[in-house]
Each structure stands twice: as C-alpha cells, then as structure tokens.
C-alpha cells in the first residue's frame, strides 16, 4: 500500500486492488477511514480501514474481538451487532428493512444497534466509534 499526500489535509491510500476506483467519485484514491471499537469493559481499539469496506470487514481484518460475522456479511446472523456511539448514530444511513428484521433476532438489541456488515465506510464516517456487545465475546 502506498500513501500519498495528494490531498494534504487528508491521508489517502493510493492503491488498493480490491475495489473499483470508479466507485469513488473518479478520485482514483481511497480515503483512509479511522475507526474506534470499544469493548464492553471499556477498552478502546483504534484501527484504520479504507472507504468501501464494511465496518464488519474492517473489524475482522483488524482482529477486533466480539465481531464473529458468522454469515460473512450476508445480513443473516446478527453476530456483527454493534452499538453506535450516540454522536455518530444520526450520521449513518438509515437502517434498512432487512437489517432491522435481522436485528430482531439479536440478543440485547438497543436503539443504537446496527449490523456492522451493513455499514459501508465512507469519508463521512472517519472517526466512527462503536461498542461491541458483551454477549458477543
């Protein structure tokens, strides 16, 4: 991975073969998205990913505990449930019907519950903070 300073105010990733560059506004670069995962004991883990990945993928690739993602992101297991920090909840796209239906089967669903596999990382989500539920450990 190569880092470039083409946009000095933001750190950008210059090459990442898993994604179609046309999907990202023709910029030809992917933005780095910084994320914070807090576990039930309060331990914070700060990781970086890139736009276009799901929050679940970012967690799994970084070894974040408590995100099992048994269905691999198919919105069919709810083992990627996270509680979104109150400051961030309104900045996420609205919850979809299938995501909401799946969360009905999740233990300890809260108002801030979302499925990490259904949250696509965008530059607007840089700094997103979520908590992983205690029962998922």
Whether the CB-CB separation of 69 and 78 falls below 8 Å is answered with no
Tell me the closest approach of the beta carbon of residue 8 to ligand FES, in angstroms: 36
Closest CB to ligand FES among residues 9, 104: 104
Residue with the closest Cβ to ligand FES?
117
| Nearest to ligand FES of 69, 121 (CB atom) | 69
Residues that bind ligand FES (CB under 6 A): 56, 69-71, 73-80, 102, 115, 117
Q: Least distance in Å: CB of 37 to ligand FES?
A: 15
Q: What's the CA gap between 87 and 66, in Å, rounded?
A: 22
| Residues with Cβ within 8 Å of residue 74, at least 6 apart in sequence | 117
Closest CB to ligand FES among residues 28, 96: 96
Largest pairwise CA distance in the chain: 45
CB of 103 to ligand FES, least distance (A): 9
How far is 131 from 83, CA to CA, in rounded Å? 5
Nearest CB to ligand FES, comparing residues 13 and 54: 54
Give min distance, CB of 82 to ligand FES, in A: 10
Residues in the chain: 137
Q: Distance between CA 36 and CA 128 in Å, rounded?
A: 6
């Amino acid at each position: 991975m190569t880092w470039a300073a083409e946009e000095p105010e933001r750190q950008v990733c210059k090459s990442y073969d898993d994604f179609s560059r046309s999907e990202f506004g023709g910029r030809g670069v992917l933005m780095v998205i910084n994320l914070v995962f807090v576990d039930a004991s309060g331990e914070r883990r700060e990781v970086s990913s890139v736009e276009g990945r799901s929050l679940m993928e970012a967690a799994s690739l970084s070894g974040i505990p408590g995100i099992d993602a048994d269905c691999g992101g198919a919105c069919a297991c709810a083992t990627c449930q996270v509680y979104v920090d109150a400051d961030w909840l309104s900045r996420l796209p609205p919850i979809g019907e299938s995501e909401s239906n799946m969360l009905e089967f999740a233990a300890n669903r809260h108002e801030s519950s979302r499925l990490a596999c259904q949250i696509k990382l965008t530059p607007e989500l840089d700094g997103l903070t979520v908590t992983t539920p205690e029962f998922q450990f």
